[in-house]
Amino acid sequence: MVPVGWVAEIWRYPVSSLGGERLASVDLIATGVPGDRAWAVVDAQTGKPAAPEKEPRWRSALFLSSRLRHDIPEIGFPDREWIPVDALDMDKRLSHHFGFDVSVRPYELSAWGTFVASAVAESRYALSPLHLVTSSSMEWLANLLGTDEIDCRRFRPNIVLNTSGMVGLPETAWLGCCLKMGSATMLATEETKRCGMTLIAQPGLSENPDILRSILRQNRRNFGIYGFVGTEGAISVGDAAILVRDQTKAMLG
């Protein structure tokens, strides 16, 4: 059992492709952070979900935010107004923001409070329960780019670990091992392949194609890791992160 850092940030993204919300703590379940990436904005005519990394018309998605309130996702607009996804004028507001007909839908039909969606969004990719990056990896990338720091929002992680004192990409050595944080464990399964989302402009961040180019050239397009929840439990900002190479021991606590 090896201490590797501590939990610096916890994030949830209730609506895919939109900005997320920082959490002080969360109870991890088998599917990851409750309410994470459960909804998507879609083309109202085709039903296809937003793809900012491929289609320029969707890039303004990153100037919207999302959060969960009373089990219902809300979308935050540039005018700082927050609107629940079941609001009658939501489609109108989204369509005005994007400039074409847009709606918001869940990935699965289920009850959300008193709201039941009538249609679902088509999933574009297999979601991993958890996505983690480290401060060391962001420092590694910042050094490649010759900048002071890299904002983790470009990578949309669920967990950011402060790994001060480590260099390079330490999480790549954790694959196949467990990370114990709080009363939960995460099984690190694979490196995260990056896409054009990393370079798109968003509030406070300008477009920067060199980010994806550097990751592609220096680490085969990988940055951060995916993982599954081994043991459900609570994690909080400030919790120590302990690397446990014996998975069975990690599951037993």
pTM of the model: 0.93
How confident is the model over 12-36, as pLDDT tens digits? 999 999 999 999 999 999 999 999 9
Tell me: pLDDT of 101 over 80.
yes
How confident is the model over 173-195, as pLDDT tens digits? 999 999 999 999 999 999 999 99
Percentage with pLDDT > 70 across the chain: 93
Tell me: pLDDT of 252 over 60.
no
Amino acid letter, 228 = F
Phi, psi (rounded to 5 degrees) for 22: -85, 140
Per-residue pLDDT, averaged over 227-246, amounts to 95
Q: Which CATH number fits the domain 2-33+127-251, given the four candidates 3.40.50.970, 2.60.120.260, 2.40.50.100, 2.40.33.20?
A: 2.40.33.20
pLDDT-wise least confident of 114-123, 155-164, 188-197 = 114-123
Domain span(s) for CATH 2.40.33.20 in the chain: 2-33+127-251
Q: Count of residues for the chain? A: 253
Nearest to 130 by CA among 90, 187, 78: 187
Tell me the helix, strand and coil percentages in the chain, rounded to 5: 20, 40, 40
Per-residue pLDDT, averaged over 62-67, amounts to 98
Per-residue pLDDT, averaged over 63-89, amounts to 95
Tell me: pLDDT of 253 over 60.
no
Confidence (pLDDT) at 111:
52
How confident is the model over 127-144, as pLDDT tens digits? 789 999 999 999 999 999
Q: Where are the alpha helices (DSSP H) in the chain?
A: 90-98, 135-145, 209-219, 247-251
Phi, psi (rounded to 5 degrees) for 192: -95, 120
Are 184 and 198 in contact by the 8 Å Cβ rule? The answer is: no
